Structure 1
Amino acid sequence: MTQDQSKPTGPDFFRGISLSDLPDGGKLVGHYGDEQVLLVRRGTEVFATAATCTHYGGPLVEGLLVGDTVRCPWHHACFDLRTGEALHAPAFNPLACWSVEQRDDRIFVGQKRKWTAPKPRDGSSGQIPGKIVIVGGGAAGFAAVETLRREQYQGSIVMISDDQAAPVDRPNLSKDYLAGKAPEDWIPLRGEKFYLKNNIDLRLNTKVAHIDLHSREVILADEGRIPYDRLLLATGAEPVRLTIPGADQSHVRTLRSFADCKAIIERAAKARSAIVLGASFIGLEVAAALRARDIEVHVVAPDKRPMERVLGSQMGDFIRALHEEHGVVFHLEDTASSIDGRKMKLSSGDTLATDFVVAGIGVRPRTGLAEKAGLSLDRGVVVDAFLETSEPGIFAAGDIARWPDPHSGENIRVEHWVVAERQGQTAARNMLGHREKFAAVPFFWSQHYDVSINYVGHAGQWDEIAVDGDIAAKDCLLHFKRAGRTLAVASIFRDIESLQAEVEMEGQIAN
């Protein structure tokens, strides 16, 4: 997942390179001492930063330059070339930066610059809140508390989570960590010291009973009360539970939390076979991860093709073939009707034997608190362009939020990790009074063996899929169109074009 940085390659930037070796708009990887460095030229200026993304180590030399920023080709994080600051999730850590000097048509890299936190931005309106409460310990909640402190907010932050673990890198739970390819210390988004150092009152295993709008307090299940001036609801989603006979047995699992993932890994250590219910992104990522552990995997799903609803029939056929090449057995247009010990009966009448079951049959937004508080709902919590709910001072972000998407012109709700993080960042700034519209283009990625599918935009419905390249050859770009307008783009190994599509969509938003 991360690249080996033990052997620096490329030119020695301490000794310098010719200015002609770095044309305007060019990128070049070399090293300064033992560290890989990326040089970028923008007009007469040259910037030197770390060469890899601080998220998963993506090679920034293969990324896209947009103004004075560079975007990672893997998961679309964005960094300021001048300061190294991580501007857009999924990266939070800044890039290291080096000083650069130009002498006699040569470029020399000097000492690494000391990181300095960015100055608080201007333009906040209203009074800075004294107490901010975040309900939820997932992507949006973490991004919000990180952004609040990065914006140098000095007030009280209480983060309430009913999970037993501090915020974790959830995408990894169905990918490399589940496959046994990532160590456990990669999973927490931040260690315990982060919350202590930043004076974030993180309360785990804590349930919220309701929100008192009149007194502006969060009421806990143990009857404790936490006052707020601004409140962010980031309660996320929960797995849809099986309701068939036998679904309550201990070897029938779902995957959402760190604890869920550990329980599946524990089962997998002693198992020969598994059944995955659902041919969605999570279900098939679980299937791929279990195949990496040499477990026989059967996938049962009502769909005619995997992921057809989101990616269309051609990509669905490709994904099925890819998994079948790796030994997955599909039982499509079928569902589980009962589980009796190690045997699962299907609605078709077939019976499958298995050591354990993972149900990936979807999730539903956790909107109960918002509903009980009387906030406006519409298949999610309704928010405005600033992610504020129908109640002033209460914001919502992540899987529960339905927001006015300026690209599609529709009110949408999506369950994407990067979207949740970026909404958490925007909500944090708006709780501080910055009035920043959420206009990020939705993005997600899904990993299947050695194939990563990137998706930008949002196409709930389309009337045409224009394919550029060859899907079977794992070299393609798919444009999902409605009435001739591209609403979303999916890609396999077309990273730079995926980034370009994102920027083009952003331009359409701006206009």
Structure 2
Amino acid sequence: MNETQHLDGPDLRRGVARDQLTEGQPLLGHVDGEAVILVRCGTRVDAVSATCTHYAGPLAEGVVDGERVYCPWHHACFSLRSGMVLGAPGLNPLRCYTVEERDGRVFVTVPRTPPRPAPPPRNPASVLIVGAGAAGEAAATELRRAGHAGSITLLAAEPDTPVDRPNLSKDYLAGKTPPEWLPLRGAEYWQEQDIRLLPGARATALDTAARRVMCSDGRQFEYAALLLATGAQPIRLLIPGADASHVHVLRSLADTQAILTAIERGARRVVVIGASFIGLEVAAALRARAIEVRVVAPETRPLQRVFGARLADYLRGVHEALGTVFHLGRKPAAIHAHAVELDDGALLPADLVVMGVGVRPDVALAEQAGLRIDNGIVVDRYLATSVADVWAAGDVANWPDARGGQRQRIEHWALAQAQGKAAARNLLGFVEPFLEVPFFWSQHGDLTLSYVGHATHWDAQEEEGDPASGNYLCRYLLDGSVRAVVSIGRDRDSLRAQIAMRHAVSAS
């Protein structure tokens, strides 16, 4: 995940002429062996490390918007003033440097020590976070960065520390990345931040009157403020054989490991049920391992409801070129020991079956406690639930879209991180409405799709380029307004679209 970046450009300790700096355009250089970007915004010049703290993306190729710099790969956002993470999926702040100007030249000198955060407006004695996925980890991290001085407890239902979940169905499953890339944080991080992470602590009951959460192992935890980040659970179709030992879903590290174990033990014929993002990413990853893959789905084009016909057809072609065989317009009727039976009676040989047919929000805890539920936990624009001092974030949260007022629940990794951060700040009293524009990326062999916004339906499309050329962008419009943009090989344009949507939301 962390790659050494070549030290291109000038040695910024020796300085560069100020007139070499173009307004809002990063200049890549280096200081003491570290890649650094220098950015002029008006009369001010800032210097920060040039490598994104998510996947080591090149910030010099990103987009500057005011005091923000965005990574072109996965849209992480950082402050040029302080280096702080302003937007997911950035994990850690950037290093900031002191900048001096003398005789028309700009010099980058020593790293700046980050200022200590001021006490937040509200400082609850204890914060309890249920769920240690993207939203839970981001919330715990933001609490400390925002100056929270009380206790923080993170209940992780899964036995593993928070992991980089998107990688599970992409490069890790394909065998292209090592397991040490998966943890979001090292074990020492939690101790350094004084955050109590409790793996294997599955919350089973919530008493909001007593402000207490009970776990399956009998432990109880009290709280002054509570964040529910329980995520979602993968769906298993109710068909004969769905609970067989060779039938898997993919949501957790344990799920991925179970699939890899089956392959290590000789599974060579896989049927993927569902042409969802997870289903197709699994198909591509397993083809990278030379596994025979068949995909069964009821639709006639994979992901047409998300992308429209043209891109859906191209995506199918990409997978077929990888060697995947599609059985579209078909549903599984039963799963046998060595085959999947379709609704037309056909039998597909299968040593291993992976279901990628969607997820359901994990609302059991919230529902039992009497919180308002409607396709997830209902929250307001500050991510507060219907019960005082309880917030919700991530895949389980149903929140009002700032652009149109419609309620929505979106299952994107970076969005869950953004919501975790926002919920943490709001429970500390900052009172900041959640206005982030959704973003996700999806990987299919060598093809990466970037998608910003959210469009469940549209009445017009504006296309630029050809998907097969590797240079393509499509805007999805409703009533003349751009609701979403998908792109291939257009990282900066994708960023600009997200920034434009963000400005539009902030101005509304």
- Report the TM-score range of the alignment, normalised by the length of the smaller protein: over 0.9
SS in 1 for 2:395: helix
| Partner of residue 442, structure 1 | 438
TM superposition shift of 1:508: 1.5
| Partner of residue 273, structure 2 | 277
**CA 1:12–1:218 in 2, change beyond 3 Å: closer, same or farther?**
same
- Asked if 1 retains the 8 angstrom alpha-carbon contact of 2:201 and 2:215, the reply is yes
Deviant stretches of 4+, over 4 Å: none
TM superposition shift of 1:261: 1.0
Measured in 2, the distance between the counterparts of 1:395 and 1:342 equals 46
SS in 1 for 2:214: strand
- Asked if 2 retains the 8 angstrom alpha-carbon contact of 1:2 and 1:58, the reply is no
The answer on 1:368 being equivalent to 2:336 is no
Measured in 2, the distance between the counterparts of 1:481 and 1:382 equals 27
Q: 1:453 aligns with which of 445, 449, 452?
A: 449
TM superposition shift of 1:121: 6.4
Q: 2:163 aligns with which of 168, 172, 176?
A: 168
- Asked if 2 retains the 8 angstrom alpha-carbon contact of 1:14 and 1:108, the reply is yes
TM superposition shift of 1:12: 2.4
**CA 1:429–1:4 in 2, change beyond 3 Å: closer, same or farther?**
same
SS in 1 for 2:503: helix
- Asked if 2 retains the 8 angstrom alpha-carbon contact of 1:117 and 1:150, the reply is no
Q: 2:348 aligns with which of 348, 352, 369?
A: 352
Q: 1:427 aligns with which of 418, 423, 428?
A: 423
The answer on 1:330 being equivalent to 2:329 is no
TM superposition shift of 1:344: 1.5
Q: Which residue identity is paired with 2:139?
A: A
| Partner of residue 259, structure 1 | 254
Superposed CA offset, 1:37-92 (max 9, x none): 21212223222222221101111111111111101111111111122111111112
1:207-218 equivalences in 2 (<5 Å): 207-218=202-213
TM-score (norm 1): 0.95
Measured in 2, the distance between the counterparts of 1:94 and 1:441 equals 21
1:455-494 equivalences in 2 (<5 Å): 455-494=451-490
Measured in 2, the distance between the counterparts of 1:372 and 1:60 equals 45
Q: 2:413 aligns with which of 411, 417, 441?
A: 417
- Asked if 1 retains the 8 angstrom alpha-carbon contact of 2:68 and 2:79, the reply is yes
Measured in 2, the distance between the counterparts of 1:117 and 1:240 equals 46
TM-score (norm 2): 0.96
Measured in 2, the distance between the counterparts of 1:11 and 1:370 equals 55
Please list every run of 5 or more consecutive structure 2 residues that lacks an aligned counterpart in the other structure: none
TM superposition shift of 1:395: 0.6
Superposed CA offset, 1:235-272 (max 9, x none): 00000013222222222111111111111122223332
The answer on 1:156 being equivalent to 2:154 is no
Structure 1 stretch 148-157 or stretch 193-202: which is displaced more?
Answer: 193-202
Measured in 2, the distance between the counterparts of 1:152 and 1:302 equals 50
SS in 2 for 1:497: helix
Superposed CA offset, 1:443-467 (max 9, x none): 1111112221111111122122221
TM superposition shift of 1:221: 2.6
TM superposition shift of 1:339: 1.9
1:71-470 equivalences in 2 (<5 Å): 71-111=70-110, 113-120=111-118, 124=121, 127-269=122-264, 270-470=266-466
- Asked if 2 retains the 8 angstrom alpha-carbon contact of 1:139 and 1:424, the reply is yes
- Asked if 2 retains the 8 angstrom alpha-carbon contact of 1:408 and 1:458, the reply is no
- Asked if 2 retains the 8 angstrom alpha-carbon contact of 1:408 and 1:487, the reply is no
Measured in 2, the distance between the counterparts of 1:115 and 1:185 equals 29
Measured in 2, the distance between the counterparts of 1:436 and 1:121 equals 16
| Partner of residue 58, structure 2 | 59
Measured in 1, the distance between the counterparts of 2:405 and 2:487 equals 23
SS in 1 for 2:383: coil
- Asked if 1 retains the 8 angstrom alpha-carbon contact of 2:98 and 2:112, the reply is no
SS in 1 for 2:308: helix
TM superposition shift of 1:114: 4.3
Measured in 1, the distance between the counterparts of 2:312 and 2:355 equals 20
Q: Which residue identity is paired with 1:390?
A: S
- Asked if 1 retains the 8 angstrom alpha-carbon contact of 2:119 and 2:148, the reply is no
SS in 2 for 1:472: helix
Superposed CA offset, 1:369-410 (max 9, x none): 111111111111110111001111111111111111111321
TM superposition shift of 1:209: 2.0
- Asked if 1 retains the 8 angstrom alpha-carbon contact of 2:131 and 2:156, the reply is yes
Q: Which residue identity is paired with 1:79?
A: F
Measured in 2, the distance between the counterparts of 1:77 and 1:308 equals 28
**CA 1:110–1:240 in 2, change beyond 3 Å: closer, same or farther?**
same
Measured in 2, the distance between the counterparts of 1:387 and 1:95 equals 27
SS in 1 for 2:206: strand
TM superposition shift of 1:118: 4.6
Please list every run of 5 or more consecutive structure 1 residues that lacks an aligned counterpart in the other structure: none
TM superposition shift of 1:33: 3.6
Measured in 1, the distance between the counterparts of 2:119 and 2:412 equals 28
Measured in 1, the distance between the counterparts of 2:430 and 2:38 equals 33
Identity fraction in percent: 49
TM superposition shift of 1:487: 1.0
| Partner of residue 31, structure 2 | 32
Structure 1 stretch 261-270 or stretch 158-167: which is displaced more?
Answer: 261-270
Measured in 2, the distance between the counterparts of 1:276 and 1:408 equals 36
SS in 2 for 1:289: helix
Superposed CA offset, 1:155-192 (max 9, x none): 11121121111111100101111111111111111122
How many residue pairs are counted as aligned between the two chains? 506
- Asked if 2 retains the 8 angstrom alpha-carbon contact of 1:407 and 1:441, the reply is no
Measured in 2, the distance between the counterparts of 1:39 and 1:243 equals 57
Measured in 2, the distance between the counterparts of 1:436 and 1:118 equals 21
SS in 1 for 2:469: coil
Measured in 1, the distance between the counterparts of 2:383 and 2:175 equals 37
**CA 1:114–1:27 in 2, change beyond 3 Å: closer, same or farther?**
closer
Structure 1 stretch 241-250 or stretch 210-219: which is displaced more?
Answer: 241-250
The answer on 1:43 being equivalent to 2:42 is yes
Measured in 2, the distance between the counterparts of 1:9 and 1:271 equals 46
The answer on 1:19 being equivalent to 2:18 is yes
> CA RMSD, aligned part only?
1.6
Measured in 1, the distance between the counterparts of 2:216 and 2:240 equals 31
